[in-house]
Structure 1
Amino acid sequence: MMKINKLVYVGLVGALAATIVGATLTGASATETNGGNQPVYLVNPDDNSVKTAGSTLNFATSVVASPNPAGSSGSVTGTNELFIGPSDATGVFTFVAPLGSENTKSSWSAYNQTGFVSGTKNTWLPSMSLNAQISGNITGVKNAGGDYSLGIAFTKNAGVTIIAGYTSFTQIRVTASTGDWTFVTPTPYVAPAPPSGSFNQGMSVTTAQAVDGALNLVSPSSATTTFGTAVLNSVTKLSTSTATLGNFSVQDDRIVSHPGWTLTSTVADFVSGSNTISKAQLGMVPKVVTGNGAGAVVGTTQVAGSATYPSTFASAVNYATVGTTVLGADLTFVAPASAAVGTYTSTLTITLASK
């Protein structure tokens, strides 16, 4: 008595071909070593158990197929019991075929159309009994005997085209005349361990010797700085004028040594004819304008009326990077109340020295 709770009867899945060397049958593993897509286990429909490999079945023995090595739970919802079909499948067949002809329907020896599980393209526990392969020439297989593939294939185009990659099969040996047969049980697929190991690789590289470039000071575009109109403070009665020192740059291309540099500012007293105003009246606020690749730091602000010169305008220490640094300064000139009115001139000297 069949103990399988059969909802809608189905058939198998699969792919590729198998070979037998000499007279020895070989097992399959998914993707099966015989070329099939899923393993094919032969199941006793009376108790849902897997048939023992190597046992002899007669021509009319009732068997079904499952991809599950545990056989069947008897329910279509059982785990791993379906042969999975592609979405474009229109049919599914069981078949007996010469070895290597599993994917060529015209070469099959015998076959039978089975069905899909309702609402799917999958099949469940298709009948694999030899005498159930009613199309083709199963009698010829029985009479001639030999080695064959017994399997399931999904098709399209009204059963004409076998869908590549969706054929599953096991290998059988049929005894001539009696039709008794033995079969191979597939070996469950075990993924190989990922490759591991290590090696030592010697490496050699020849470097090119870098060469220091130059250290240069580039003066402002204008040689003269003219202060703006003096403003007289109503309280202190001091005349105050302001100006901006034109931008200038330090170009340091010493990429190997990069020792750093120092800028020093020196100012002469302001003179108008016979009249003199001390250089201490010139206030100066140094600033880095752009491109501080060398890590420059400006010097101390000089306050008009108490300025001290020479003074450090800016400096750069031994720094990993070099390049061009653009600098400038805000200037303030405060004339004492006692100073004679007039236009005074002086000279500001900026000196660059390497550290």
Structure 2
Amino acid sequence: MKISTSKKVIAAIATVGLGLGALGFSASAATAAEADVCATGWTPSGLPEAFFPYSLDTGEVIPAGTVIKYDDGVVGAPNPVDPEIPYLAAPDDAFEPRIFISPRGKENVISEWLSVYAGTFMPGTKKVLQSPASLERFDAATFGAVKVAGGEYSLGFAYTKNNGVTLVGLGAYAHVTLTPGTAAWTIDLPECKKVVEEADGSPGDIGVEAPVVAPEPPVDGKFELSIPAGAKATLSGAKLVDGKSTATGVLPTFDVIDERAVSKKGWDATASVTEFARTSGTEKIGADALTIAPKVVADGTTSTGVAAQAGFQGSATAKPFATAAAGTGVGTTKLSADLTFVAPAGSVEGTYTSKVTVTVVSK
């Protein structure tokens, strides 16, 4: 079903969330943005993407506190103002998304799901567009007990393989509260601050031609860190190597934009990592379980002279990620890293979360 909504845009900000599969990353910018934005990184457990409920009748986000009927048409989307924006791509080994309802805190345990049905990816992609969230689509045989009992649950979708038997990763979910008997329900919304609205109407192109003169004397342009909103890295392929669980992945590409063409001061990028914590327990794994191997991505990089630093183990102390000597680094530098997570022998099985902070400073 197609949802039509008013066009809106979210004010830009340089600090966004990076997800490491279920391992959550965050990044800090060299300069702070002045505008508030919607916290699109929100879910009850801090996963990278939010679950905003949209009504299929109105095409709008369902306001907090609204009582939703058991048979109302509802879908979930990651963006609070545009339901046509899909969720980020699932891990490569995901076969299909599954819509589930579970006890709170048991979202990543398939055996604890109370009722489930299969979803679909967008054709030719591993992306979910408008995840179904209508309760009436759950199988009556398994959902019946939930409907009778009511109570507090989690509703969302996850990526699976092996006919839904194996969990590949969580997509997004939200906390819901059901009324016993009728299964009328309410849903917790992500906390949002400010959005900037654009006027409604059909788009049209108008050519504009304007002269530009160089400033006298020349001045420097902006210097900032830019990371795509909602970016995440998914570590996958976990297997035992010398008795230790080992998984690999790639850090999403982010940009250092240096338009200081006059001073050409150069810059340094660093990264720090917090310890990992199991989402369904109290177990911890040190930050040094994650190895980060920085790299400069050639495609799209316009700067010269930027050097990726040697690979390093995660630490609360910031480690060198990339550097541009004075006189270099002007333009856009696209950075990424190869990631390897090696859990200590005997680590408790599960999903662990951490945070990485990326900082860029001028020389």
TM range (shorter): 0.3 to 0.5
Q: Which structure has the greater CA radius of gyration?
A: 1
- Bigger RCO (CA 8 Å, 6+ sep): 2
Q: TM-score, normalised by structure 2?
A: 0.42
Q: TM-score, normalised by structure 1?
A: 0.43
